[in-house]
Chains A and B, each alone.
Chain A
Amino acid sequence: MPLGHDAYVVRLAGSWRLRDRLPRAADVLNIPGFVPGRRRLAFDTAQLGAWDTGLLTFIRHVLEDSERAGIAVDHAGLPPDVERLLALASAVPMHEMSPEPARLPWLGRIGTTVIDTGMAVGGVLGFVGEACIAFASLLTGRVKIRWPQFGLLLYEVGVRALPIITLVGTLIGLILAFGAAVQLRQLGVQIFVADLVGISVSQEVGALITAIILAGRTGAAFAAQLGSMQVNEEIDALSTAGISPVQFLVLPRMLALILITPLLTIYTDLFGIIGGGLVAVTVLDLSLTTYVTRLIQVVTIHDFLMGLVRASVFGVIIALAGCLRGMQSGRSASAVGLATTSAVVTSIVLTIIADGLLSMIFSVFRFR
């Protein structure tokens, strides 16, 4: 309502709480009859009931609108507590950091990206170098392995993985044999199921499947363990105590995985061949003796050796990726999750690239 010749009064009455249906503050200066010539606004709160920050939000919005429109506001009618809280809300904000995030120009952003990439590559190379030094120190006897902890690691990485390896290995053998069964039967060469399963599993599939399981199971676990040690500052505590985190934490984990991967691959090969045998006996009507005899004829020690070479390389890759991502983890719970995901992705991608390269190398050198 108008007050005098150039002022308006905003009369607030009743309950003004967040949960009440409050009028829109933006409408106050847009009401019909609010003559632009009036240059003063006052509040009348004599009939104001219960209120909370719903009222403060409303008044604050009206004050901001008035300031923009160049209208002077008389605060005299406001309750003292409202005044006090408005003063608190408009007090100088914290100066701990600037509210404007720093934005670099495009050239600066490109430069920062290049530098960051260079640093990341340097970080990976540095980590691989440190791991090599740790292995060399182990061979020369300058680093000792703590055997009880190492035994636990071997148990965790190897023995605890056996059930899933048994299941997946058998299923892979079954799937390979099933996939070929129809065609082999049409051609009347069911016996070749032994060649197919025996050679592919022992040369490549066994190692690859083992590597994928270990990447998901063990590589991820390493990244999560080392990442949470970063969060708890355990790795800082080792560094400041003069103990190399790579020698103390990374070396035993890498060693365990490098030892266990070929062993688990032999185990996967065995169950893959058993899975193929199940199909041979039940679907292709071969006798067990025929299947085993054919296997012995066609699968050579070379096939298994190729599988083991692959497995050893994959073991190194998974151990490096898992430990590297864990050591690079940030210091929050979400960073540990990212490190774990990144470890699995890196391991699987690098494993498949390495598999391709090894296949080319074996083929070039006519290994078989």
Chain B
Amino acid sequence: MTTAASISTGPDVRPRISVVDLDMAYGGAVIQHGLTFTVRSGEIFVVMGGSGSGKSTLLRHLIGLKAPARGDVLYDGQSLWTADPAQREELMRRVGVVYQSNALWSSLTLSENVALLLEEFTDLGAGEIRDAAALKLALVGLAGFEDYYPSEVSGGMAKRAALARALALDPEILFLDEPSTGLDPISARLLDDLILDLRDGLGTTVVVVTHDLASIQAIGDNSVFLDTETKTMMAHGNPKALLADPPNPRVRAFLNRESVYR
């Protein structure tokens, strides 16, 4: 298991997630085919693409919610989709997910949202769980808001609380689905900084699904671009390098926000 301590001694470049020849389909219609890429340990990996390109569907394949039409996802070389349900659950225990709508449990306070996972999956006592939940909320800047309900906080705070919950069990991999949706530019920037801080501090591998260009350039170490028209990945690499030298006009148009109608 990779830990913060081992990360701090130098970058780890083992593949944490491998996507192998993956086809995604919705009701028989293929929306992406032949996706093959790897996410290295400790990097921030961005899945980008236009609306309807299948970014969020890819995320559902990666986090075990939806079986791909073909192909597989490997976690540290272990297959996710040929594993039996118990093994898959074990693999999924290593990941934390921040959903697009935050998906905080509305009947629980922010602290209880984090604590529930600790109660279920650790042997910690009540006091330690309270401390651990308070620490997670403090890490995302929500110290003092432990007893608030999700409906009582702003959108930016709910996003941070969702991040705290995703971090509850110290996941090796953190998935974020469109994290900047509904956030103002300053809050979005603060969230980017927070993701960087948490990756640097905890050594977590981060996979972000987004079409927020500023965020892609600010935090992405590596990326894949899903194209809506050709229904496959059109670019794979560091977003800054892709911006400087786009492999094709469609990637250039996306990264430069060009109008394709002119």
Contacts and interface: CB of A to CB of B under 8 A. Distances in A.
A91 B141 contact: yes
Given A22-B128, A94-B157, A52 B3 contact: yes
Interface string B94-118: 0000000000001000000000001
A19 B121 CA distance: 8
Judged by DSSP, the binding face of B is: helix
Contact of A53 (B1, B8, B135): B135
Contacts of B194: 88
Interface in B114-134: 118, 121-125, 127-128, 131-132
A160 to B, nearest CB: 28
B175 to A, nearest CB: 18
Contacts of A53: 132, 135-136, 139, 167, 170, 202
Contact of B128 (A24, A81, A84): A24
B13 interface: no
B259 interface: no
Interface string B1-16: 1011111100000000
B3 A17 contact: yes
Nearest to B153: A97
Interface string A59-100: 011000000000000000001110011001111111011010
Given A18-B170, A79-B8, A94-B160, A85 B202 contact: yes
Contacts of A81: 4-5, 7-8, 200-203
Interface string B132-174: 1001101101111100100111101100100000010110000
Contacts, number: 109
A51 interface: yes
Contacts of B152: 101
B136 to A, nearest CB: 7
B90 interface: no
Interface in A13-36: 17-19, 21-22, 24-26
B169 A18 contact: yes
A21 B123 contact: yes
A51 B138 CA distance: 18
Nearest to B171: A52
Given A18-B118, A50-B1, A60-B131, A88 B156 contact: no
Given A94-B141, A332-B151, A51 B5 contact: yes
Given A25-B131, A50-B6, A84-B200, A89 B170 contact: no
Contacts of A101: 148, 152
B10 to A, nearest CB: 13
Contacts of A290: none
A31 to B, nearest CB: 18
> Which of B128, B142, B194, B197 has the largest count of A CB atoms less than 10 A from its CB?
B128
A332 B106 CA distance: 10
Interface of A: 17-19, 21-22, 24-26, 48-54, 56-57, 60-61, 79-81, 84-85, 88-94, 96-97, 99, 101, 332, 334
15 contacts: A17-B3, A18-B132, A24-B125, A50-B1, A51-B5, A53-B135, A53-B167, A56-B135, A60-B131, A81-B201, A88-B198, A90-B143, A93-B138, A99-B144, A334-B106
Interface of B: 1, 3-8, 106, 118, 121-125, 127-128, 131-132, 135-136, 138-139, 141-145, 148, 151-154, 156-157, 160, 167, 169-170, 194, 197-198, 200-203
